[in-house]
């Protein structure tokens, strides 16, 4: 039986998220062994009795191998946090979702992704800006991520598709339960030029409680989050807060101080988010002008052992090339050559005086 079927089995159990997944795996060694554990064994590791009852119920009512095969034959990919195909940016966040269901394709190039989110009650101004920003970034090789909701989300996806770009939609339901229903055709288009993604099992309805957690995945998959329009209690502000916690940059479009849809974005700017005046602001701030070259370099030049060693040392604080040489024990010529390649790949950036930072870790978001 495929090991993933056990991951999907535990993912069906209400109350088991990333923390309890890790607890169960650490104790039993693997999920296959855990699946056959007794009720007392589950209780002994500290699981709440209600969760243990949920495990027993799922185990007695669901044929997990049959369930898994049904998912696969329906064209949906199951990606687990242990495997190489799991999105690398999402692995960086605290408690990444153990299981992702993907309809379409998540590609290595989707590493260069920006989230565009905002209100469902979009204004003409917001629609124009969302369309312009999304299409501009997509034309410059950036994958657009959003939640496929009405309003800003839908406009962002559609704009990326219109210019031939890639886009990913993270859902607050199973990937087989498209919401809102009028976006079914949009979902099909997204799956042809990107993917719909969810950490919720198939059949999960779009309950309101599902959306805040999915916003954490939207920001986690992204280099930065752009908020176009948002009220003070908008879900887009939740996404922005997650982004700040995850060390992602947050951009907000300024607007009329009397307009409800601009109160949230103006507040973000007041709190330290980047005011977004054009798509080029994003490219400049994130050093994304060389995306085509970086994508080509990553495809054609694999990470070697020297680069892997250096990536463990280079973080968000600037580190001098001499210190890198000292900590790695590599010859200065090898360090210099590897740093040049890593810059080309978009892995590190020189910040002056032969000091380097990791581009994947250097973003610190804004104060909240």
pLDDT in tens, 248-299: 999 999 999 988 999 999 999 999 999 999 999 998 888 776 666 667 666 6
Dist. CA 47–CA 52, nearest whole Å = 6
Domain containing residue 42: CATH number: 1.10.150.20
The verdict on residue 81 lying in a domain is no
3 state SS of 173 = coil
Model confidence, pTM = 0.81
What angle do helix axes 260-271 and 235-245 make, rounded to 10 degrees?
Answer: 10
Q: Which two tokens stand for residue 210?
A: 């599902």
> What is the enclosing helix (H) or strand (E) of 343?
helix 332-345
Per the CB < 8 A criterion, the answer to whether 229 and 118 are in contact is yes
Dist. CA 41–CA 65, nearest whole Å = 23
The verdict on residue 2 lying in a domain is yes
pLDDT for res 315: 86
pLDDT for res 300: 64
Per the CB < 8 A criterion, the answer to whether 169 and 106 are in contact is no
Q: How many domains does the chain have?
A: 3
Residue 38 makes CB contacts below 8 A (sequence gap 6+) with none
Mean pLDDT value of segment 74-100: 92
Q: Do 270 and 177 fall into the same domain?
A: yes
Q: Do 170 and 29 fall into the same domain?
A: no
The verdict on residue 91 lying in a domain is no
Q: Do 62 and 167 fall into the same domain?
A: no
Q: Do 33 and 157 fall into the same domain?
A: no
Q: Do 59 and 132 fall into the same domain?
A: no
Domain containing residue 336: CATH number: 1.10.10.10
pLDDT in tens, 299-332: 666 678 888 899 889 987 899 999 999 999 999 9
Q: Do 243 and 300 fall into the same domain?
A: no
Q: Do 51 and 121 fall into the same domain?
A: no
pLDDT for res 164: 95
Of 77-91, 289-303, 335-349, give the lowest mean pLDDT range: 289-303
Strand 274-275: give its sheet, edge to edge.
77-80, 99-104, 194-198, 167-170, 143-146, 113-117, 224-227, 249-252, 274-275
Domain containing residue 252: CATH number: 3.40.50.450
Residue ranges making up the domain that contains 117: 104-286
């Amino acid at each position: 039986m495929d090991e993933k079927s056990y991951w999907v089995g535990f993912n069906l159990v209400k109350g088991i998220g990333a923390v309890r997944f890790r607890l169960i795996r650490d104790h039993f060694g693997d999920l296959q062994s855990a699946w056959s554990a007794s009720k007392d064994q589950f209780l002994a590791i500290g699981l709440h009795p209600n969760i243990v009852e949920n495990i027993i119920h799922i185990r007695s009512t669901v044929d997990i191998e049959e369930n898994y095969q049904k998912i696969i034959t329906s064209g949906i990919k199951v990606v687990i946090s242990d495997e190489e195909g799991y999105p690398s940016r999402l692995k960086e966040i605290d408690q990444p979702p153990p299981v992702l269901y993907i309809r379409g394709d998540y590609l290595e190039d989707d590493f260069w992704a920006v989230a565009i989110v905002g209100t469902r009650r979009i204004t003409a101004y917001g629609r124009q800006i969302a369309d312009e920003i999304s299409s501009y970034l997509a034309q410059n090789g950036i994958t657009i991520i959003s939640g496929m909701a009405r309003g800003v989300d839908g406009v962002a996806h559609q704009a990326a598709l219109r210019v031939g770009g890639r886009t990913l939609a993270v859902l607050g339901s199973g990937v087989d339960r498209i919401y809102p229903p009028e976006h079914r055709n949009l979902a099909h288009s997204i799956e042809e030029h990107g993917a719909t993604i969810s950490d919720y099992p198939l059949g999960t309805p779009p309950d309101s409680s599902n959306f805040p957690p999915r916003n954490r995945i939207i920001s986690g998959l992204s280099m930065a989050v752009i908020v176009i329009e948002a009220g003070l209690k908008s879900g887009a502000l939740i996404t922005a807060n997650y982004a700040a916690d995850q060390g992602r940059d947050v951009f907000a479009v300024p607007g009329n101080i009397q307009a409800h849809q601009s109160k949230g974005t103006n507040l973000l700017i007041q709190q330290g988010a980047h005011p977004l005046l054009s798509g080029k602001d994003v490219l400049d701030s994130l050093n994304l002008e060389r995306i085509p070259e970086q994508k080509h370099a990553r495809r054609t030049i694999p990470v070697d052992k020297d680069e892997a060693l250096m990536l463990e040392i280079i973080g968000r604080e600037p580190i001098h090339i001499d210190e890198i040489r000292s900590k790695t024990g590599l010859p200065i010529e090898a360090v210099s050559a590897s740093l040049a390649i890593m810059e080309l790949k978009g892995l590190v950036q020189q910040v002056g005086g032969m000091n380097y930072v990791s581009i994947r870790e250097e973003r610190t978001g804004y104060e909240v």
